[in-house]
Amino acid sequence: MWKTRMFRTGLWRSRMWRCRLQLQFLNKLFLIVPCHRRPERCFHIKGKPMPICSRCLCILAGYMMIPFLFLFKVGIIWGLLCQIPMLIDGLTQLKGWRQSNNLLRAATGLISGSGLSIGIVSSVRVLIEVLKQ
């Protein structure tokens, strides 16, 4: 019913409606990410927590490095080394030795996402070399 009213009134053309649809799409997309979704570990926008935690959000942001990494040759060892800060932060928090904060989670997540991007690009390069032969 809301769809017919939406089309009858021409509401679907409005900018606000399109923006709302895009946000709904992003929310559904974020639901794919396996995350604990604890509100205290999420960034907040206008008082509402984001659908995924700050660490996962920044890991996804780190994947934005993939196109740029094809321009440079970075060894996969750097990708592995980039996982160490997140592992230390996550494991020490899991053991209860210390409490992390959202800024640290975001920074380690971004480093980890960049490292995963290095791994993805390195794997694609190896795959291309194998397929060339």
Size of the site for Zn ion (CB under 5 A): 3
Return the residues of window 64-93 that contact Zn ion according to CB under 5 A. none
Q: Does 35 sit near Zn ion (CB under 5 A)? A: yes
Least gap, CB of 109 to Zn ion (angstroms): 8
Q: Does 53 sit near Zn ion (CB under 5 A)? A: yes
Nearer to Zn ion, 56 or 69 (CB): 56
Reduced 3-state DSSP string for the chain: CHHHHHHHCCHHHCHHHHHHHHHHHHHHHHCCCCCCCCHHHCCEECCEECCCCHHHHHHHHHHHHHHHHCCCCCCHHHHHHCCHHHHHHHHHHHCCCCCCCHHHHHHHHHHHHHHHHHHHHHHHHHHHHHHHC
Question: Which region among 9-17, 53-61, 75-83, 122-130 touches Zn ion (by CB under 5 A)?
Answer: 53-61
Nearer to Zn ion, 53 or 82 (CB): 53
Q: Does 59 sit near Zn ion (CB under 5 A)? A: no
